[in-house]
């Protein structure tokens, strides 16, 4: 995930890392993040290579 750094969180607090893993991996929260990113990127014009710069 680009928003959460699981390695850093797990190194600092193992229980918080596990809970975050369960929330993102098993509840569909990751899908919600992906849909929000898609809605942000869709109206942005693409360059000649079809890439979008955010």
- Residue 23 to residues 32, 34, 36, 46: CA-CA distances in angstroms? 12, 14, 17, 33
Full residue range of the structural domain in which residue 44 is found: 1-54
Between 9 and 52, the more confident residue is: 52
Instruction: Say which residue the tokens 């969180």 belong to.
Output: 9
Provide the pLDDT for residue 2. Answer: 47
Provide the pLDDT for residue 9. Answer: 55
Provide the pLDDT for residue 3. Answer: 52
Tally the domains of the chain.
1
Task: Give the DSSP per-residue string, 20-44.
Answer: HHHHHHHSSHHHHHHHHHHHHHTTS
Between 17 and 11, the more confident residue is: 17
**Angle, CA 2 vertex, CA 26 and CA 12 arms, to 5°:** 75
For the stretch 14-47, pLDDT in tens is 777 777 777 777 778 778 888 998 898 889 898 8
């Amino acid at each position: 995930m680009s928003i959460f750094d699981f390695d850093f969180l797990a190194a600092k607090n193992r229980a918080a890392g596990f809970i975050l893993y369960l929330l993102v991996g098993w509840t569909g929260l990751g899908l919600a993040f992906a849909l929000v990113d898609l809605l942000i990127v869709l109206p942005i014009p693409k360059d000649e290579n079809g890439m979008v710069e955010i």
